[in-house]
Amino acid sequence: MGAVQLLGVQKFFGTMEVIKGIDLRVDDGELVVFVGPSGCGKSTLLRMIAGLEDVDGGEVLISGVEVSGLAPAKRGVAMVFQNYALYPHMSAYDNLAYGLRRSGMARADVDSRVRETAALLQITDLLPRRPKAMSGGQRQRVAIGRAIVRKPEVFLFDEPLSNLDAALRVEMRSQIARLHQELKATMIFVTHDQVEAMTLADRIVVLNSGRVEQVGTPREVYHNPANLFVASFIGSPAMNLLPITRGEDGSILLESGEQMIWPGGKIDGPPGRALTLGLRPDRLSLVGSDQGQISGTVHLAEHLGDETILHVQTAAGRALTLKCDGDAPARLGDLVQIGLDLTGACLFDPDGRRVQ
Amino acid sequence: MKKTSRIAPARVAQTLVYHAVMLAISAVFLLPFYWMAISAFKNNAEIFANPVLWFPDPIRLENLTALLTRDDFPFLRQFANSVFYALSVACAVCFSCSLAAYSFGCLRWRGRNLVFGLTVCALLLPGIVTFLPVYLGWTKLGLNGTYWPLIAPFFFGDAFFIFMLRQFFLGVPRELMDAARLDGASEFRIWWQIVLPQVRTPLIIVGLFAIVYTWNEFFGPLIYLQDRDEFPLSLGLFTFQAARAREWSISMTGALLTALPMVVLFLVTQRLFRQGLASSTLK
């Protein structure tokens, strides 16, 4: 299996630079997930690695070999597409065999390889069927089979689970994780679904506007976001962001006038320094009257069974999200007091950089 | 309680008037065809009889025998020429136009939209404008009097069919082609093995349009062909009528047998024709 290395990779659509000089290394056997909002360039970057988009600047290396000028089939990559991209006029068997036949493999070898792959994915009974006679999940398994059968160095997944229903998505996610364990393959997975990213990835690459905002393990990206963008993008519900200023003694001054001590001691910088405090929803809690730092009105309560997500509007007009117990008593329109737990909180400067 | 549906009298009258008008218009269009069909089974006197004979009596099938055995109207030979001409053009159009449409609809290359725009502009150019230089070119090549000038240009595409097919090619998911590229297929193989099977119906429609167009084509054969044995039916029928102006019954039999294959083709494939016309205008 091969490592993938991107060195200053750029892509232009017309005069617009959509991939802005990305440097990244995906190690041999690693499963890396690209996440980011729509239009951030994650699928374009994946297609550049596959050779389906030209690289306008920089280099793409697979197993140490520069492949920017190579045709997609010569790069040792296989790709699974969002809409499966199975050839509709061919049976599942022919879909799996097509690439092997193109490579000039003998008929008997093609047959054994296809059947071996079908057995691995438990799709042997689907082999005679055409895609239109399969369910979404079956099609996706065949699409994964088409990628596996070629024994590529790198697997590329372009939002492969987006078209599946919730239950099937969970099943396919675990199947991909199992395949990664069994094949020990290098995999790059594009998704906008954070749950997929957090559960599958060895490392997550957060992309925004054609740049890499942060690369790290799911825990690193969640608990130590490099900047305001990552903090607000990763995590569902999103991190709460509150404007604060540094007090004379290095403490935190909230908009409400409440003062709090920063867990590490003092906030760096001069008094009056404007910062943004980031707090995950589970660090906010409902407290009794006169015990909270912030008060607000509940304007939405999402009861999810074991937990309740409360959306609260503060007196200063800020929207806060709280993750509470399933039996939290708050209801729509209630005036509530919110306590802040600064453990694991983040501070960002006005440019969005993490400072503490 | 049993419900009864009642249609308003005004609505019934409206429907009746609508159908009466449509039937009258249809009759106007069908009358010449009906006249041709009944004339094919009459002799000259019966054709011009007064009062008009709206149904041939007796049905003169000998017109058919006379048509197929005449030395000055090699009907079967010209029928075969028309079949060859129409099928060759249909194959040429399907091949060349689908290749061009694949390039315009599925591949990305610099200047693609400009070239496609210029191609569509060719639709606005009357054929007669380019006729003389093209004719001189074929004459220089010494291919006048053969089917080369009539068929070969279609191997280089036709603006209308390219435009029509491109609309369908745009609907083929790009991921299918990407998957084939990753599988190691060449662009030609992708066009042939992956994309064409997805646009089989539009391709048949284009082929049918080409057959109908070529079957009725008159000007090209008139200019390039000189030998009667090489004429397609459209030209053969015209030259026969010009030379034997009084033999109306044979002319009408020839006209009927010339029109009949296209009528049958239309009846068998009318769903595809309608689909093709709708897609070329609406997409």
Mean pLDDT of all residues in B96-102: 96
DSSP A108: H
> How many domains is chain B partitioned into structurally?
2
Write out the DSSP string of chain B: --------HHHHHHHHHHHHHHHHHHHHHHHHHHHHHHHTTS-HHHHT-SS--SS-SS--THHHHHHHH-SS--HHHHHHHHHHHHHHHHHHHHHHHHHHHHHHHH---TTHHHHHHHHHHGGGS-HHHHHHHHHHHHHHTT-TTSSHHHHGGGGG--HHHHHHHHHHHTTS-HHHHHHHHHTT--HHHIIIIIIGGGGHHHHHHHHHHHHHHHHH--HHHHHH---GGG--HHHHHHHHHHH-TT-HHHHHHHHHHHHHHHHHHHHHHHHHHHHHHHHHHH-
In this structure, the answer to whether residues B29 and B86 fall within a common structural domain is no
CATH 2.40.50.140 positions along chain A are 240-348
Closest CA in chain A for residue B194: A87
CATH 3.40.50.300 positions along chain A are 4-232
Q: Which residues of A touch B197 (CB under 8 A)?
A: 88-89
pLDDT tens for each residue of B220-257 = 999 999 999 999 999 999 999 888 878 889 999 999 99
pLDDT tens for each residue of A289-326 = 778 888 899 999 998 888 999 999 988 888 999 998 88
Asked if A72 and B182 come within 8 Å (Cβ–Cβ), the reply is yes
The CA distance from A84 to the nearest CA of chain B, in Å, is 8
In this structure, the answer to whether residues B163 and B45 fall within a common structural domain is no
Range of the structural domain that residue B146 is part of: 70-245
In this structure, the answer to whether residues B61 and B19 fall within a common structural domain is yes
Domain A4-232 CATH superfamily: P-loop containing nucleotide triphosphate hydrolases (3.40.50.300)
In this structure, the answer to whether residues B95 and B151 fall within a common structural domain is yes
In this structure, the answer to whether residues B228 and B134 fall within a common structural domain is yes
Mean pLDDT of all residues in A232-251: 90
In this structure, the answer to whether residues B93 and B49 fall within a common structural domain is no
pLDDT tens for each residue of A259-282 = 888 887 888 888 888 999 999 999
In this structure, the answer to whether residues B53 and B104 fall within a common structural domain is no
pLDDT of residue B280: 53
pLDDT tens for each residue of A279-298 = 999 999 988 877 888 889 99
In this structure, the answer to whether residues B34 and B172 fall within a common structural domain is no
- Testing the interface with A: which of B113, B174, B182, B203 to mutate, by most A Cβ within 10 A? B182
Considering the domain boundaries, does residue B283 fall inside one?
no
The CA distance from B250 to the nearest CA of chain A, in Å, is 49
Considering the domain boundaries, does residue B149 fall inside one?
yes
Q: What's chain B's average pLDDT?
A: 90
Asked if B184 and A50 come within 8 Å (Cβ–Cβ), the reply is no
In this structure, the answer to whether residues B53 and B82 fall within a common structural domain is no
Amino acid at site B216? N
B197 and chain A: CB distance < 8 Å anywhere? yes
CATH of domain A240-348: 2.40.50.140
Kindly tell me if the per-residue pLDDT of A74 is higher than 60.
Answer: yes
Considering the domain boundaries, does residue B174 fall inside one?
yes
In this structure, the answer to whether residues B106 and B138 fall within a common structural domain is yes
Cβ contacts below 8 Å, chain A against chain B, sum to: 58
Q: Which residues are CB-neighbours of A81 under 8 A, at least 6 positions away?
A: A143, A158, A160, B175, B178, B179
Tell which of B42, B65, B88 closes a domain. Answer: B65
Considering the domain boundaries, does residue B238 fall inside one?
yes
- Binning pLDDT at 50, 70 and 90, where does residue B8 land? confident
pLDDT of residue B49: 86
Considering the domain boundaries, does residue B103 fall inside one?
yes
In this structure, the answer to whether residues B34 and B167 fall within a common structural domain is no
Which pair of tokens denotes residue A229? 């963008």
Considering the domain boundaries, does residue B193 fall inside one?
yes
- What is the CATH classification number for the domain harbouring B174? 1.10.3720.10
